[in-house]
Structure 1
Amino acid sequence: TDYRKNWVKPERVATDRHQTKILPNKMQKAALKQIEALVASGEKRGLVVSATGTGKTYLGAFAVKKYQPRRFLYIVHREQIAKKSLESFYRVIGGPRSDYGLLTGNRHNLQAKYLFATVQTISQPEMLANFNSDEFDYILIDEAHRAAAPSYQRLLHYFKPNFWLGMTATPERMDEQNVYQIFDYNLAYEIRLRDALEEKMLAPFHYVGVQDYEADGVAIDETTDLRYLASTSRVDYVLKELDYYGYCGTKAKGLVFCSRQEEARELARLFSQKGHP
């Protein structure tokens, strides 16, 4: 309420987006050198491990700008990420807006020089038929820890670019799929969370792991019956842990990840009932 009363509409300042030049930070500069060295040595694949929040997308854009590909393909698993990444690349590389396009369930800009695609769309055989195997000379797989999935493997076997760049924050997998192997064990660069915090690239934080909630001696997961997923006792357990560990600010704020809409609605009702609307 106070915020609404005191809020003043900011003045709009007309600026040319190209006047604000985005430059790589210290760690990105080091990563770019390593990627360039890998490409120059004739390697066909490389992996960058970059902690969340350290500018992974911009690093990819800087690398592609330096390479100057004839055609570039960016692959990711969600349309929203593809759209955001397109904007980031445009800010770094520039050029005609028509050079940038999407290949998703809703958009088929097949001729774009810089093509941003969802894996679900481009991996379909009828869609792949639109492209030659050497159509793109540089391909970037974002969230590369997913590259062991059949849809990504289809693309990795079909396309023959000069270079594949994989980027991920989480290369260590629990499903025994070796992400490093997929990228020929070429670890181009690593920006881990501890390094990013020491470089003051990220705000420091505290992380607490709360023991799994159990109902009748059985741990709860997304396959559990709804009456256990969204139960009063489970909400009480979460709030008890919250009181124990504490939180910053005047009240607790956070996210609850739910397995389905029914769970979200029921948990919202129960949390509201317990004084957390």
Structure 2
Amino acid sequence: MKLGLENKRVLVTGSTVGIGFASALSFAREGAEVWLNGRTQTRIDAAAEIIRAQVPGARVSGVAADLTTVDGIDAITAALPELDVLVNNFGLFEAKPFEEITDDDWLRHFEANVMSGVRLSRHYFPGMLARDWGRIVFVSSESAVQIPPDMIHYGMTKTAQLALARGLAERTAGTGVTVNTVLPGPTLTEGVQHLIDDMARGRGMDQSEVEAEFFRAMRPSSLLRRFARPEEAANLIVYVSSALATATNGAALRVDGGVVRAVL
């Protein structure tokens, strides 16, 4: 199925690993001009090399920038003044008891998970409206719907993304621009893999045992009963960014393995 993304300029933030990288790879396969983002040029170059090896002729560039800072945002917009698809995937998370979450922790998560998307959208959204075509996708989490008690600050920022995306979508009425949010569930990203490895070593268990225990204890409502692969989330991100998804706008779309017990 062709998604109508040929020659579209696409920026995926936080795209050297995990869901961001899987999305960038899928966009490249669709013929888009893909821009990667990470904190170091070394990681961007490595990710771009993998994409070019898997997609001969892929057009891949990248900007190393810390998106928790205004200077980092400025570096991206200077290198890429206009684009067609913005995927706000960059973010961070940590597990921490509420009483130990400092003001700096709250602000750090808000800058990374919310303000990076605010600032980039503020730059690119007007151009999309003027050209009457564009896609903005916020990569949130099922934690936006059911706040994890050990990551309340993270959950709060993911809920904020839903409000931001819906508010922007209201501005697109009657245009060819859409703004949506994708909510992955537990996904085997690089950070999650590190956590599993640490838990397996600390408890003398293998990774499959740790995964099974996680879903028994932490996500018992999961219908998938395993960590999703990054490409499974990327498939939805790329589709909702496509020319075929015109009627999907202002939506919060779950790819959570059925973790959230809700019919809507």
Same structural fold, with TM-score higher than 0.5 when normalized by the shorter chain:
no
- Interval of TM-score (by shorter of Structure 1 and Structure 2): 0.3 to 0.5
What's the TM-score, normalizing by structure 1?
0.36
Higher gyration radius (CA): 1
What's the TM-score, normalizing by structure 2?
0.37
